[in-house]
Amino acid sequence: DVKVTQSSRYLVKRTGEKVFLECVQDMDHENMFWYRQDPGLGLRLIYFSYDVKMKEKGDIPEGYSVSREKKERFSLILESASTNQTSMYLCASSQRTGVSNQPQHFGDGTRLSIL
Amino acid sequence: AQKVTQAQTEISVVEKEDVTLDCVYETRDTTYYLFWYKQPPSGELVFLIRRNSFDEQNEISGRYSWNFQKSTSSFNFTITASQVVDSAVYFCALWKGNTPLVFGKGTRLSVIA
């Protein structure tokens, strides 16, 4: 069965801290994505990656960076956390090409609170 | 540019009522795919259905049905005889293939016993 695993379901950090959110997939997918979800705004794409060491900015990359050193792992980094980054973060992965029933498989999400 | 609009922010129904969630999309592509995802209170996104742009046949799966109409760029989702377990946020999404999904803002459905 397909699996996208996010390292934490709940996380509480302080303003100014450097925060790492980890995502691992076991499906050998090329593509990986990070979204944040906020009430009334839906899912917004932060960054995505089509291959190891590659990254592309999404719609709201400011304040974030990413790392993709291995195919199965995609890390989201908050360089200096701020309260407006309190949100639900969702990781997803997908195959590069071809037709599959689900374009993206999602993790369970991380609820991050910045105090 | 691609865009998905879910005009209904929140819907509340009494159990056993039918409810339709609206989804309107915009795209200039002739080949595309449309999806519905369910997000229960636990947070994970659960895939419900995918349709491609060449297949306008409506689909029924148990209490769920989907009405895809290219003429109005809509892909509406109906739950028949709603149940409390249907309470969730539902997202409609558009996909061109090998690009990130474009999501609507979601509709929060509350089914009251």
User: Where does the pLDDT of residue A15 fall: very low under 50, low under 70, confident under 90, or very high at 90 and above?
Assistant: very high
Residue range A72-100, pLDDT digits in tens: 999 999 999 999 999 999 999 988 755 55
Return the pLDDT at A80.
96
A108·B33 Cβ contact <8 A = no
Give A13: exposed, middle or buried? Use CB within 10 Å, 0-12, 13-18, 19+: middle
Q: Which two tokens stand for residue B62?
A: 């148990």
Do A42 and A60 touch, CB atoms closer than 8 A? no
From chain A, the residues in CB contact with B8 under 8 A are: none
Partners of residue B64 on adjacent β-strands: B61, B79
In this predicted structure, the answer to whether residue B47 has a pLDDT above a threshold of 90 is no
What would the mean pLDDT of A6-25 be, rounded to a whole number?
96
From the list B36, B84, B100, B67, the residue with the least C-alpha distance to A34 is: B100
CA dist B35 and B91 (Å) reads 8
Return the pLDDT at A100.
55
Q: How high does pLDDT run on average in chain A?
A: 91
Closest residue on chain B to A41 (Cα): B105
Residue range A35-54, pLDDT digits in tens: 999 988 889 999 999 889 99
User: Where does the pLDDT of residue B59 fall: very low under 50, low under 70, confident under 90, or very high at 90 and above?
Assistant: confident
From the CA of A41, how many Å to the nearest CA of chain B? Answer: 5
A42·B104 Cβ contact <8 A = yes
Q: Residues of A numbered 10-69 whose beta carbons fall under 8 angstroms of chain B's beta carbons: which are they? A: 31, 33, 40-43, 45, 48, 58
In this predicted structure, the answer to whether residue B109 has a pLDDT above a threshold of 90 is yes
B98·A96 Cβ contact <8 A = yes
CA dist B97 and A113 (Å) reads 33
Q: How high does pLDDT run on average in chain B?
A: 92
The alpha carbons of chain B give a radius of gyration, in whole angstroms, of 14
A48·B100 Cβ contact <8 A = yes
What would the mean pLDDT of B87-111 be, rounded to a whole number?
90
Percent of chain A with pLDDT over 70: 93
A103·B35 Cβ contact <8 A = yes
Residue B41 sits at the chain A interface (C-beta within 8 Å) = no
Return the pLDDT at B43.
85
